[in-house]
Each structure stands twice: as structure tokens, then as C-alpha cells.
Amino acid sequence: MRLSRLFLWDIRFQRKYGFYFLYAVLTAIYAFILFAVPGSWKEKTAAILIFSDPAAMGLFFMGAIILLEKSQHTPCAFAVSPVREAEYIIAKAGSLCAISFIVAAILALIANVDNLHIVLLGTILSSTIFTLLSMITATKISSLNQFILWTIPIEIVCFVPAMLHLFEITPTWLRYYPINVCMDMVSGYAPPITGILEVIVLIVILLVFSKKSVLKIWRSMGGVKL
């Protein structure tokens, strides 16, 4: 019950600050691009759009959400509430994953990609990874400029290998790099079981660090966790 209320609260928060309107506009632009490109380009173009925007939106939007909550002193309220760190994280990650899922589904259907279920699963996994990375980063900084600087290494480590992998420029062994596994899925290809397990392990590790980061910022607000 508490988790569902947090989830709905995050959805209302995102709607209030124009997240849905922004993504409606962006989705229309992406759809126009997919309609405009030649048929032979649609598959890779759709993979790039889905991975770099809906799947990775958590990296930038989550940072903005955390910074906005800090400015509004929202962590003070959470610090003295019965809400657990895991509930807070899952609600936020889930609300952004829901947007990513819808946008990715629209783009994938327009591009007529194969294995839609794999594309959507890859989108959810990618969005979760980027959202958790962003949450860990945003809890440690206090300004938008700092956040932008801190996300540059994340973008290099995540986006560059994935884009190179999409165009088969990287070595074969890098197919097991978790971010590249997600790119394969977003492209509609079923990864090996080993790759899926690596992605799950990475998400679990990031979740543990996210919980520690959130708990630290709640405690820094001077409240007592009930």
C-alpha cells in the first residue's frame, strides 16, 4: 500500500513539472525521424533512440527530481516517515521505467522491430540501471552544474561502449559488458543467460549503493528514521 502511494505520488510529481508533456513532444519528434529514415536504417535508428533517450532518461530526470526534492527539503519529511529506502527507490525507478516503457513501445512499433518483448525488457533494465546510477550521483551533489559534471564519466562508461557495440566495432568479449547486453536487447536480440545474470547482478549492486546513498542524505537532514 505504501509503495503504491509513493509510486502514484511520483507520477503526479512528474506530471506537475511537465515530464509527460516533454516526452509527448520528444516522442512525436522521434516518431517523425523513424518515419523519415530509410527502411534499412530503421532498426538501428530505433535502437539508438530507445537506448539513448527513453532508456537513459532516468540518468538525467532522476537527477533533476532529486535536486528539486533537496531544494524543497522533501528528504526531511522522508527522514521522519515510516517510508523505507527501498520503497522510495523502487517507486521512483518504477515511475520513470513506466514512461520509458511506453515511449519505447511506441518507437519499436513504428520501426516494426522484431522481438518487441525483448526490446521492452531491455528498456526496463537499461532504465533501471541509469536511474540507480543517477540516484547515487544526485544524492552526493548540491547543484545542477555539479550533477552535469558528475554524469560525464557515467555517459562515457555507458553510452560510448554501447554505441560502438551496436555498430559491431568492439571486441567480441565485450558483448558480456552489462550495458552492451542491454543494447543487444533494445536492438531486439536475445542475449545469453550469462549476460542477463550480469545485468541483474549489476542492478542489485546499484540498488545496495542507492539505499546507502538515500539513507545517508536522509540522516544528513537531521531527522530520525522510524
Which residues make Cβ contacts (< 8 Å) with residue 29, sequence separation at least 6?
none
pLDDT value at residue 223: 44
Residues of the chain with pLDDT > 70: what percent?
97
Grid cell locating 125: 533494465
- Residue 76 pLDDT exceeds 80: no
Residue with the bigger pLDDT between 76 and 195: it is 195
The pLDDT mean for the chain works out to 86
Mean pLDDT value of segment 63-83: 80
Query: Using 50, 70 and 90 to split pLDDT, how confident is the model at 196?
Result: very high
Dump pLDDT digits (tens) for 13-46.
888 878 788 888 888 998 999 999 988 888 889 9
pLDDT value at residue 226: 41
In the three-class reduction of DSSP (H, G, I as helix; E, B as strand; rest coil), residue 224 is classed as: coil
Mean pLDDT value of segment 57-77: 80
Domain boundaries, the chain: 2-220
Dump pLDDT digits (tens) for 152-189.
888 888 889 999 999 988 888 888 899 999 999 999 99
Chain-centroid distance of CA 47 in Å reads 15
Stretch (H or E) spanning 67: helix 57-71
pLDDT value at residue 211: 92
Lowest pLDDT segment from 63-72, 121-130, 153-162: 63-72
pLDDT value at residue 221: 65
Mean pLDDT value of segment 85-114: 90
Question: Do residues 43 and 183 touch, judged by C-beta distance below 8 A?
Answer: no
- Residue 20: exposure state from Cβ atoms within 10 A (0-12, 13-18, ≥19): middle
- Residue 93: exposure state from Cβ atoms within 10 A (0-12, 13-18, ≥19): buried
pLDDT value at residue 72: 78
